[in-house]
Structure 1
Amino acid sequence: MSEQSPLLRPRSSDEEDAGLKVLSPLSDEDWQDNGEETKSSWYLLLLTLAGLGLQIAWSVEMSNGSPYLLSLGLSKSLLALVWIAGPLSGTLVQPYVGLKSDNCRSRWGKRRPFIVGGAIATILSLMILAWTREVVGGFLHLFGAVQESDGVKTCIILFAVLFVYVLDFAINVIQAAIRAFIVDCAPTHQQESANAWIMRTSGVGNILGYLSGYVNLPKLFPWLGNTQFKVLCAIASFVLALTVFISCSTVSERDPRHDPMPETHDGLVAFFKSLYRSVRKLPLQISRICQVQFFAWIGWFPFLFYITTYIGEIYVEPFFEANPHMTDEEINNTWEDATRVGTFALLIFALTTFAASVILPFLIPPTFQPPMLPPATPLTPTTPNNMSGSGYFSLKAPSRPRRSLASRTTKLLAHLQIRSLTLRRAWLLSHLVFAACMWLTFVVRSTLLGTVLVACVGVPWALTNWAPFALISSEISKRDAIRRGLLRPSTREAALVAAGEDEAGAEGADQAGVVLGIHNVAIAAPQVIATLVSSVVFRALQKPRGAPGDDSVAWVLRFGGCCAIVAAFLTTRVGEEKEDVVVAEADGV
């Protein structure tokens, strides 16, 4: 059996708890070609295209949301309370949407109604948020309120903050549905490829979002609005609507009406009870991935939120040292230049991430591939049926056909793969690289080196957006394929999965929606810890604005590097597919 094309059964918790890491690979007869056909790259692009529009909407909110709210008069002290909407919605909305979409039995599919509904809510939220001043001011003007009064300004701020929360909740609805949509529609052996494609489309959206900030959009598109934020929201809404329409209209879901009706219990208490049961019954592999993500994202949040400020502090340091008594206007002008330098570093970071998302899937061999069966030729009328195993085909190879361009390209790309590198090992290395980059802040003293440092982090960031989702998606897809009979159960655990008698399957804890929702909790919840730790560090080390020698952000980044080391250690506990295959072959399994 080829080491590079295993199809492995889901892990047994009993085996892993006992310290056994040998897994029995699925044999050729376990694979049903009619149920798990290989999809083309064009199909995978269409399947993941909605991620491009979603990422542009995210980038507009993250890069322009804070300046927009500050321009409305919101104080910086209250701004932090506004952005708690992100982890709050990620912790509550995604598990809820995942559970509801798992139980959906619409003729349109499980996920597409939530994708379309989330897209509509996101578009409305973006447009209302961008035009908050006009909407609220015009409405209150009907009742005789003066638009420049303090009461009207307060109402505008409150309305904008409300729709920031609505926008975050809407984005999390569509994000949860898109991730589950990919798991459901991509074959088991192409889950890694599908997640690589969503990484690429999101990377393109990220680059387009950052590039838009450098263009004078109101000058180019005056009919879309008179401010940069209004035009950005209009463009993001159009791209999101277009990509969602293309993805949902070209990719069909399996009809869920043939699935057994789930036992549903309405109410918030019932939802939390169901979520708690699902967390306790998670398959072991998925549970360990969530543990890694918890510590990894304690490290990632400080980087994502404060790296622009870190680059800016390096830029302003010589100016503050040369003139420690700047006026407030001079300090503001210096920091405006520093913010542009920091934003440029993020653009380079986005380009590096996209390049890594394109290159890495060619270097890391796929974990799952369908078995290669010998070529079959139809039986001739003179061929006795007892000479063939099936009565319909002969396994005698015909004359060697001319190899197609696709097959030659595939063989050429296979030479680029690093055979000893697996997705899990690459993910482990990404934690170590990220930690090393964060600790290099001790020696970085120029914006050029800082930009290079940020660019290097783009590689582990690409793996962070690919590896855990691919590993989880593969596990979910394997269990679902066994349950639906696309993979014949050849082991005790596989038989239990097929019969619905394993704990995770019985509790619905291995369904795509609820698993990805729980996984997102492991991503969103650490932001609270990261925020608290950052606040303590800032309170202890931050210097007055305009004073030189402020390295408080650097210490927050170094704390994130320490958390990445913990994540790297926990990654060693995540099951390694290809190592298991090698051991299985060595033992003659």
Structure 2
Amino acid sequence: MGEHEHEPSPSRRRASEDDETPPNPSVQAMSKPVHEDSPLLSPAGTAPEEEEGLIGDSAVLDDDPHDDYHETKSVWYMILLTISIGGLQLAWAVELSNGTPYLLALGLSKSLMALVWIAGPLSGTLVQPYVGMLSDNCRSPWGKRVPFMAAGAAATIVSLLALAWVREIVGGFLSIFGADRESEGVKVTIIVVAVLFVYILDFAINTVQAGIRAFILDCAPSHQQEAANSMASRVVGVGNIIGYVAGYINLPKYLWIFGNTQFKILCVIACIALGSTVALSIGTIKERDPRLGPPATKGQSGLLTFFKQVFTSIRRLPPQTRKVCEVQFFAWIGFFPQLFYSSSYIGDIYVQPFLEENPNMTPVEIDQLYEKATRVGTFALLIYAITSLATNVFLPFFIAPSYDNPSANSSNPSSSLHPPKIYTTRFTRFLDRLVIPWLTLRRAWLLSHCIFALCMFSTLIVRSIEAATTLIGIVGISWALTLWAPFAIISAEVSKRDALRRSRKTLHTDESPEDQAGVILGIHNMAIAAPQILATIGSSIIFKFLQKPRGTPGDRSIAVVLAAGGLSTLVAAFLTSRIKDEVEIPEEGVVEEARSGNRREERRLLARSGSFGGLEY
């Protein structure tokens, strides 16, 4: 890795010269990082001169001398912290890619399908904020988020397996009372129970997702929130690719022990992945003990209280978070149709030449043609997932760290984006040379909106399979930034405000009411889920006027829906330009901490934390 270099910066020398306070042994003892031998923590310098460190916001905000949650974490810590969201993504992938064909095979009509899939946006709008509020007030000895992650994962596993075996469960139960499994009444009952399990599944998935997102925010240091969410987006990309590859393989041929259909085996695989990854995360990453914090507010679990708190929390959202929610609202009006109709868009392009050459195809021939078109469209989604993962792996090397920067609120503006480095190697210096100074995460997110809009507008003129597949693959870049940038910006702001809140508590100052991670992330999810309902309604109106009967050539309705989503994304791009490249904390927090006269935090060595999340360690 190369020889280590240790060059004291001018700022360190000035801090050392100005500090005339005699050393306090007890303070020095407390300033040493705890658990420094843990393989999950990045090594910190232990030499006396290295313990003097740099003065930055991370030091200003840390209040607990025995709190190691502000220590820079290694890449392995980040992987273990975020791996559970990869298992969750498999469950999402199974539902989204195979749920519609499975319900249609049970006999559900297409007209009722929209009422079924509205469960996703509906549960995202209501469940995640409610779970966030409950977890914020949870004082379990296992942590605030772990009980909801475990309970949500268990409910997801049960509902997935019940949905896959709903024919056997309902048919077997009714046969006890003498009902014929092939009767119309039993078939209708199977459909009703299946739809019920779909709703339970969506509510359960949103529960575990709310817990995981808040868990990542709580357990990642404030100066590594950008890195943690970048790692989470990579793990989601891996989960997507595994899900698509599993869908391609003829699973009953190789994994017949798990079931006799593709859907059953996919559900078993998703359950194993979700259960094992959630167990790995909560088994290796320890939350702060919530019992050491302020007691939970009584009477906060009622629905009336929930809606009241949501509206109150929306009004007092942190400034950066509010702007991110505004961006997400318009961005997801465009993303929702793209996620659901990309494969159908490519499938329509594939079938057009065949329908024009043979307009008198039989229904069986039309079904076979569209089945082949579905596989062609699914291949484009695989390219889309691979592009997204590649973007999340390589793009962070070129992003100038901003929300990860521990000195973002420093009095020296020039150090805002590029804090001085003390502990370096040849490899870290090589990584530093890759960074494009002007390409902050916010600007990359803005460019991704423009790329998405351009690709959606191009669907109106692109009429070849190769070009359409390329378009959908390019959109994977925008999807990668959507999974990373908004969560990183929000997490950085919430994490620093939370650290400031603990600092005020330490200084015995009055604490103004501020929402914690669970409620804020829940409101952010509302900004994602609510526009999906609007996008569904808008898409239905366009289809009503432009859609042609299945098997009729010349249908361009899906391209119009996608292009309309591109218009909304341009609004999101404009709103993204109003977001700052740094997360600022209230200045009074810095002043209060300075008055405490605590020199301990000013002596902590802060290593550069790039977006890759500790690869240099």
Distance 1:566 1:233 in 2: 38
Q: Is the 8 A contact 1:57 1:233 kept in 2?
A: yes
One-letter amino acid matched to 1:429? L
Structure-2 residue corresponding to 1:375: none
Give the secondary structure class of the aligned counterpart of 2:551. Answer: coil
One-letter amino acid matched to 2:354? F
Distance 1:279 1:301 in 2: 23
Query: Which residues in structure 2 correspond to 1:180-579 (within 5 Å)?
Result: 180-265=214-299, 266-367=301-402, 368-370=404-406, 407-485=425-503, 499-501=510-512, 506=513, 508-509=514-515, 511-577=516-582
CA offset digits 1:126-180 (Å, max 9, x no partner): 1111000000000000000000000000010000000000000000000000000
One-letter amino acid matched to 2:581? E
Alignment partner of 1:30 is 2:60: yes
CA offset digits 1:387-429 (Å, max 9, x no partner): xxxxxxxxxxxxxx9x88xx33222111111111111111111
Distance 1:228 1:179 in 2: 30
Q: What is the aligned-residue RMSD (CA, Å)?
A: 2.3
Distance 2:451 2:583 in 1: 23
Give the secondary structure class of the aligned counterpart of 2:141. Answer: coil
Q: Is the 8 A contact 2:61 2:503 kept in 1?
A: no
Measured at CA, do residues 305 and 28 of structure 1 come closer, stay the same or move farther in structure 2, by a change above 3 Å? closer
Measured at CA, do residues 255 and 27 of structure 1 come closer, stay the same or move farther in structure 2, by a change above 3 Å? closer
Q: Is the 8 A contact 2:106 2:191 kept in 1?
A: yes
Give the secondary structure class of the aligned counterpart of 1:159. Answer: helix
Measured at CA, do residues 349 and 2 of structure 1 come closer, stay the same or move farther in structure 2, by a change above 3 Å? farther
Query: Which residues in structure 2 correspond to 1:108-123 (within 5 Å)?
Result: 108-123=142-157
Distance 2:298 2:484 in 1: 32
Deviation at 1:218, TM superposition (A): 1.1
Deviation at 1:264, TM superposition (A): 3.3
Distance 1:536 1:319 in 2: 28
Deviation at 1:576, TM superposition (A): 2.3
Measured at CA, do residues 551 and 82 of structure 1 come closer, stay the same or move farther in structure 2, by a change above 3 Å? same
Q: Is the 8 A contact 1:30 1:487 kept in 2?
A: no
Distance 2:118 2:282 in 1: 31
Deviation at 1:343, TM superposition (A): 0.3
CA offset digits 1:492-531 (Å, max 9, x no partner): xxx9xx7422xxxx1x43x100000000000000011101
Gaps of 5+ in 2: 1-8, 12-54, 409-421, 586-617
Distance 2:383 2:183 in 1: 43
Alignment partner of 1:53 is 2:87: yes
Gaps of 5+ in 1: 4-24, 373-400, 490-494, 581-589
Structure-1 residue corresponding to 2:104: 70
Q: Is the 8 A contact 2:87 2:275 kept in 1?
A: yes
Measured at CA, do residues 412 and 579 of structure 1 come closer, stay the same or move farther in structure 2, by a change above 3 Å? farther
Distance 1:579 1:519 in 2: 19
Distance 1:452 1:159 in 2: 40
Structure-2 residue corresponding to 1:12: none
Distance 2:111 2:10 in 1: 59
Alignment partner of 1:169 is 2:196: no
Q: Is the 8 A contact 1:422 1:578 kept in 2?
A: no
Give the secondary structure class of the aligned counterpart of 1:577. Answer: coil
Measured at CA, do residues 202 and 483 of structure 1 come closer, stay the same or move farther in structure 2, by a change above 3 Å? same
Distance 2:314 2:81 in 1: 28
Measured at CA, do residues 61 and 518 of structure 1 come closer, stay the same or move farther in structure 2, by a change above 3 Å? same
Measured at CA, do residues 28 and 312 of structure 1 come closer, stay the same or move farther in structure 2, by a change above 3 Å? closer
Structure-1 residue corresponding to 2:51: none
Query: Among the aligned pairs, what percent are the same residue?
Result: 59
One-letter amino acid matched to 1:449? A
* Structure 1 ranges of 4+ moved more than 6 A: 486-489
Alignment partner of 1:95 is 2:129: yes
Structure-2 residue corresponding to 1:158: 192
Q: Is the 8 A contact 1:434 1:457 kept in 2?
A: yes
Distance 1:487 1:96 in 2: 26
One-letter amino acid matched to 1:128? A
Structure-2 residue corresponding to 1:376: none
Deviation at 1:562, TM superposition (A): 0.2
Q: Is the 8 A contact 2:457 2:566 kept in 1?
A: yes
Deviation at 1:239, TM superposition (A): 1.1
**Alignment equivalent of 1:141, drawn from 161, 164, 175:** 175
What is the number of equivalent residue pairs in this alignment? Answer: 515
Q: Is the 8 A contact 1:32 1:487 kept in 2?
A: no
Deviation at 1:485, TM superposition (A): 2.2
One-letter amino acid matched to 2:348? E
Distance 2:582 2:468 in 1: 37
Deviation at 1:32, TM superposition (A): 4.5
Distance 2:337 2:57 in 1: 46
One-letter amino acid matched to 1:530? A
One-letter amino acid matched to 1:535? S
One-letter amino acid matched to 1:437? C
Structure-2 residue corresponding to 1:15: none
Distance 1:365 1:349 in 2: 25
Distance 1:97 1:579 in 2: 28
Measured at CA, do residues 485 and 205 of structure 1 come closer, stay the same or move farther in structure 2, by a change above 3 Å? same
Distance 1:212 1:578 in 2: 41
CA offset digits 1:170-219 (Å, max 9, x no partner): 00000000000000000011000000111011111110001111111111
Measured at CA, do residues 488 and 556 of structure 1 come closer, stay the same or move farther in structure 2, by a change above 3 Å? farther
**Farther-moved stretch of structure 1 (571-580 vs 70-79):** 571-580
Deviation at 1:262, TM superposition (A): 2.8
Give the secondary structure class of the aligned counterpart of 1:470. Answer: helix
Deviation at 1:574, TM superposition (A): 1.5
Measured at CA, do residues 134 and 27 of structure 1 come closer, stay the same or move farther in structure 2, by a change above 3 Å? closer
Give the secondary structure class of the aligned counterpart of 1:49. Answer: helix
Structure-2 residue corresponding to 1:584: none
Q: Is the 8 A contact 1:543 1:550 kept in 2?
A: yes
One-letter amino acid matched to 2:573? A
Deviation at 1:487, TM superposition (A): 12
Q: Is the 8 A contact 1:109 1:254 kept in 2?
A: yes
Q: Is the 8 A contact 1:430 1:463 kept in 2?
A: yes
